[in-house]
Amino acid sequence: MAMSWRHLIVGSPLRTAEQVHQRLTKTKALAIFSSDALSSVAYATEEILFVLVAAGTAALNLSMPIALTITGLLVIVAMSYYQTIHGYPSGGGSYIVAHENLGVWPGLVAAAALLIDYVLTVAVSITAGIVAIISAAPELLPWRVHLCLLAILLIVWGNLRGVRESGTVFALPTYAFLFVFLALILTGLIRLATGSLSAASVPPLPVGIGGSEALTTLLVLRAFASGCTAMTGVEAISNGVQAFQKPEADNAGKTLIVMATLLGVMFLGITFLAHALGVVPVDHESVVSQIGRQVFGTGPLYLALQGATALILVLAANTAFADFPRLSSILARDGYAPRQLANMGDRLVFSNGIAALAILAAALVVIFGGQTHGLIPLYAVGVFLAFTLSQAGMVRHWHKTQERGWRVKAAINGLGAVATGVVLCVVVESKVTQGAWIIVLLIPALVALFRSVHQHYLDMREQVSLPEGEMSRWSHLKVAKSHKVVVPISGLNRGALAALQFSRSLSDDVTAVVVDVDAAATTRLRDSWEAWGIDIPLVVLESPYRSVARPLLAYLEATDRREPERGTAVVILPEIVPARWWQNLLHNQTTLLLKAVLLFRQEPNGAPRVVINVPYYLRS
């Protein structure tokens, strides 16, 4: 029943053999791998303005210089990743590059940074996507958080089914966004040049917004740090080189250049328009929407802009739903994360990773009330830490290969590492009090967790594995001839009878015990025991505190101590199983409790206690 519902929702199971590897054309690959990077132009400009406006609207004039600096940085980072693509044509995620070239610790730091980054990609993209919808339909404002959660749920659903139709379906929104966004910038520039749009140099400050802080260097750096979120997702192509058609590295490199160019043009264009039109960030409408309404009016083009923006942001969140489960499954395979994360579900997707990401992102959305602004200070830290480690790893990589021209290549990646490293410091320094401290604490905590998980798996393997020297011993392993058997019962019913019968097939040394929590019931039991003439001794255990487990454990311990050479007593638990699962709520579940207590209680002598479960099924 539960099974068939599940199949209806996420689809029927897929065979392992059905796993397919599709190769993408450059056009499709651009759509799939660039949604994360390109979609960030929908909020990056706004985040710069949001910080600057705290120092009054005059400070907004700084937005263009900041945007130009970020674009310069983008060129450096894109060059660095172009080289990563050629150095790691098999796919060079930051974890792999840092792990292989810098060692275990930097690799784990990169992994922690990336996992956090993926969670934030989902939260930031979804909240920004919902803002795009709310800007066009302000009556939805009170449902902001609900809409975010609904969007996450839809993405989870798609991913649990295993989205197969990747290319085509995903290409449409990305190209729609590209088209309408470039049209916005072009129309805006033309209308400004022809004077059909009035430019404002310094707009008046809306009531209740900004103007409370001085224009300090810290504030400018903070605005820069917020704008750097425009660069998130640039690394995506380098992770997926193998998905390109042959020659993979060449095609991927070209696609990266196209993506970076588009990203730079769109980011500069929208920032210029925001500056020229005197747009000030407000709570209920995004900056892009404000520009859209001034340039396009409120007609179909404006609605297309908002729709395409929302769609590409949802798509960007969707990419994290591929990346997070994949990275966590790699970590699980390497023994740094719980093994369940490496399990492929029915539909050939890493269901546990998908669920974990959705829960974390949904929690962030709820905690921050669906507000993108609050999430931004957390976002950039992980991204730039992963950038820096990955580029530094590439420097080591070129040094190790010593291939032709390795010095130039190392220099380019070195420049990338230094530049992103400096930005990382700026981001941490300027945003640490705004929330970045959470990430600064979380990354080492995650790394420590990875290490202790790893240690646990190593310990376990050592404890359970069979050393070569013991190999010949199977035939000599002693087997107890006759077990001591204890059958706890609460009354003489068919369930208890079945357990007692089974106990007889196992051993001649059987004792039935009853914990005396209800004197009347115990008397009834004694009477029927005699009436039935059962030739198994019945022991009654006192229980002054009405506990069933404690007297039983004490009895078992005493039994084991009497004849230690015969090993621990075997416990046979009768269990009445109702026909329907909910009927379990109507039973005391003493058996379930005893099973748990017996399993998790290590006996003083360290010997395992074997527990036998004899079920008795009720008809419905």
From the list 453, 427, 421, 422, the residue with the least C-alpha distance to 440 is 427
Rounded Cα–Cα distance for residues 550 and 400 (Å): 63
Which of 480, 521, 539, 554 is the binder for its own copies (CB under 8 A)? 480
Which of 20, 193, 520, 531 is the binder for its own copies (CB under 8 A)? 531
Which of 498, 540, 541, 553 is the binder for its own copies (CB under 8 A)? 498
Q: Does 434 bind its own copies (CB under 8 A)?
A: no
Q: What are phi and psi of 179, to 5 degrees?
A: -60, -50
**Closer to its own copies at the Cβ: 185 or 489?**
489
Task: Give the chain's radius of gyration (CA, Å).
Answer: 32
- Buried (b) or exposed (e) across 198-224, using 16+ Cβ within 10 A? eeeeeeeeeeeebeebeeeeebbbbbb
With contacts defined by CB under 8 A, name the span among 117-125, 164-172, 216-224, 497-505 that binds its own copies.
497-505
**Closer to its own copies at the Cβ: 339 or 407?**
339
With contacts defined by CB under 8 A, name the span among 63-71, 87-95, 177-185, 496-504 that binds its own copies.
496-504
Question: What is the closest distance, in whole angstroms, from the C-beta atom of residue 88 to its own copies in the complex?
Answer: 25
Name residues contacting its own copies, limited to 509-528 (CB under 8 A). 528
With contacts defined by CB under 8 A, name the span among 171-179, 222-230, 416-424, 477-485 that binds its own copies.
477-485
Rounded Cα–Cα distance for residues 287 and 294 (Å): 11
**Closer to its own copies at the Cβ: 402 or 474?**
474
Residue 576: count of CB within 10 angstroms of its CB: 16
With contacts defined by CB under 8 A, name the span among 117-125, 152-160, 400-408, 480-488 that binds its own copies.
480-488
- For residue 254, what are its two tokens? 């070209």
Q: Does 534 bind its own copies (CB under 8 A)?
A: yes
**Closer to its own copies at the Cβ: 511 or 613?**
613
Rounded Cα–Cα distance for residues 92 and 256 (Å): 14
Please tell me whether residue 22 adopts helix, strand or coil conformation.
coil
Name residues contacting its own copies, limited to 449-468 (CB under 8 A). 453, 456-457, 459-460, 463-466
**Closer to its own copies at the Cβ: 403 or 508?**
508
With contacts defined by CB under 8 A, name the span among 136-144, 281-289, 381-389, 493-501 that binds its own copies.
493-501
**CB-CB contact of 551 with 515 (8 Å):** yes
Which of 21, 472, 508, 565 is the binder for its own copies (CB under 8 A)? 472
**Closer to its own copies at the Cβ: 106 or 353?**
353
Name residues contacting its own copies, limited to 571-600 (CB under 8 A). 575-579, 581, 583, 585-589, 595, 599-600
Question: What is the closest distance, in whole angstroms, from the C-beta atom of residue 151 to its own copies in the complex?
Answer: 25
Give the contact letters, 4-43, x = binds to its own copies (CB under 8 A), - = no.
---------xxxxx--------------------------
Rounded Cα–Cα distance for residues 239 and 242 (Å): 8
Rounded Cα–Cα distance for residues 40 and 317 (Å): 11
Q: Does 138 bind its own copies (CB under 8 A)?
A: no
Which of 339, 407, 561, 562 is the binder for its own copies (CB under 8 A)? 339
Inter-axis angle of helices 300-333 and 351-367, to 10 degrees?
A: 130
Size of the site for its own copies (CB under 8 A): 79
Question: What is the closest distance, in whole angstroms, from the C-beta atom of residue 453 to its own copies in the complex?
Answer: 6
Rounded Cα–Cα distance for residues 576 and 619 (Å): 11
Q: Does 506 bind its own copies (CB under 8 A)?
A: yes
Which of 20, 207, 477, 520 is the binder for its own copies (CB under 8 A)? 477
Output the 3-class SS for 238-269.
HHCHHHECCCHHHHHHHHHHHHHHHHHHHHHH
Q: Any alpha helices (H) in 334-371, and if so which ranges?
A: 351-367
CA 350, 114, 372: angle at the middle one, nearest 5?
100
Rounded Cα–Cα distance for residues 572 and 507 (Å): 12
- For residue 554, what are its two tokens? 């004490």
Q: Does 1 bind its own copies (CB under 8 A)?
A: no
CA 144, 150, 153: angle at the middle one, nearest 5?
145
Q: Which residue has the tokens 């579940």?
A: 589
**Closer to its own copies at the Cβ: 399 or 456?**
456
Which of 504, 524, 561, 562 is the binder for its own copies (CB under 8 A)? 504
Question: What is the closest distance, in whole angstroms, from the C-beta atom of residue 567 to its own copies in the complex?
Answer: 10
> What type of residue is 276?
A
**Closer to its own copies at the Cβ: 339 or 399?**
339
Q: Does 547 bind its own copies (CB under 8 A)?
A: yes
Rounded Cα–Cα distance for residues 64 and 74 (Å): 15
**Closer to its own copies at the Cβ: 22 or 343?**
343
Q: Any alpha helices (H) in 465-518, and if so which ranges?
A: 494-506
CA atoms within 13 A on the CB side of 73: 28
Q: Does 338 bind its own copies (CB under 8 A)?
A: yes
**CB-CB contact of 553 with 582 (8 Å):** no
* Contacting residues for 582 by C-beta, under 8 A, at least 6 apart: none
Question: What is the closest distance, in whole angstroms, from the C-beta atom of residue 5 to its own copies in the complex?
Answer: 17
Q: Which residue has the tokens 């310990």?
A: 459
Name residues contacting its own copies, limited to 79-118 (CB under 8 A). none
**Closer to its own copies at the Cβ: 400 or 546?**
546
Name residues contacting its own copies, limited to 234-273 (CB under 8 A). none
